Chain A
Amino acid sequence: GAVVSQHPSRVICKSGTSVKIECRSLDFQATTMFWYRQFPKKSLMLMATSNEGSKATYEQGVEKDKFLINHASLTLSTLTVTSAHPEDSSFYICSASEAGAYEQYFGPGTRLTVT
C-alpha cells in the first residue's frame, strides 16, 4: 500500500519551455501533497505544500509564478516549471500524506534537464 507514482521519470527540455510533472497517489487519498527539489548529494528542499482544492503554500524563496502547483483531486497534483532555465535542472520529488497522518510517501522522482 501507499504507492505514489510520478511522471515523467526523466525529461529534457529546451530553455524557455514549460514542463509539467504529475504526481499520483495510487492506493490512498492524499489530502496533502508536497513538492521537493534535491541537488546532487544534498538533502531534500521543500518547495511547496498543497492541499486538495486549495492554493499551494510556497516556501520562502520559491517563485510561485515559476513553479505552478495544482492539486485538483485527492489523487493528483501537478508541478509545472514555466519558462525553464538551465538552473532549474534538478531532481524533483513529490510526496503525499493521508488525512491525519504524518508520514509521507514519496514518488520515484523526476530528473529535469534544461538545455
Chain B
Amino acid sequence: SQKIEQNSEALNIQEGKTATLTCNYTNYSPAYLQWYRQDPGRGPVFLLLIRENEKEKRKERLKVTFDTTLKQSLFHITASQPADSATYLCALLMDTGRRALTFGSGTRLQVQP
C-alpha cells in the first residue's frame, strides 16, 4: 500500500524566511497531489492541488512542486508569517474514480516572530 512520509514532525523558522516542507511517497505516482493546512481542533483547509503532469503550481506566497521521478512534492511558503503556523498535510489521490485521499501524518510548522 502507498506510504507517505512528510519530512519532519515539526519545523521551526524565523518570520520572513521561506518554509520548505517535503512529502515523499513510495509506490506509483498519484493522479493528483494536494496540500492542506490544519489548525488544532479544526478540519483541514484545502490549499493547492497539482496534477501528475505538472511540475509546479503557485498561489500567492505558496508554491508546490511535484517530481514523479523522485516521488516527491515540495511545499514552499515564502515570506513566512506567524499566522502561517499550523500543521500542513500532504494528500495523494490515487483513484480518480473513488476520489478518496490518502493523507500523510503532517508537518507542524512554527514561525517565530
| A44 at the binding interface (Cβ < 8 Å) | yes
Interchain CB contact under 8 A, A42 and B105? yes
Bound form: Cα–Cα A34–B43 in Å? 13
Residues of A41-78 at the interface with B, using a CB-CB cut-off of 8 Å, are 42-44, 46, 49, 57
Bound form: Cα–Cα A42–B45 in Å? 16
Q: Which residues of A contact B93 (CB under 8 A)?
A: 102
Interchain CB contact under 8 A, A103 and B46? yes
Interchain CB contact under 8 A, A49 and B103? no
Bound form: Cα–Cα A2–B95 in Å? 22
Residues of B70-113 at the interface with A, using a CB-CB cut-off of 8 Å, are 89, 93, 96, 98-106
A106-B45 in contact given A43-B103, A43-B106 (Cβ < 8 Å) = yes
Q: What residues of chain B have their CB less than 8 Å away from a CB belonging to chain A? A: 31-32, 34, 36, 41-46, 49, 89, 93, 96, 98-106
Q: What residues of chain A have their CB less than 8 Å away from a CB belonging to chain B? A: 2, 4, 6, 32, 34, 42-44, 46, 49, 57, 91, 93-95, 97, 102-109, 111
Q: Which 4 A-B pairs have the closest CB atoms?
A: A106-B43, A43-B105, A43-B103, A103-B46
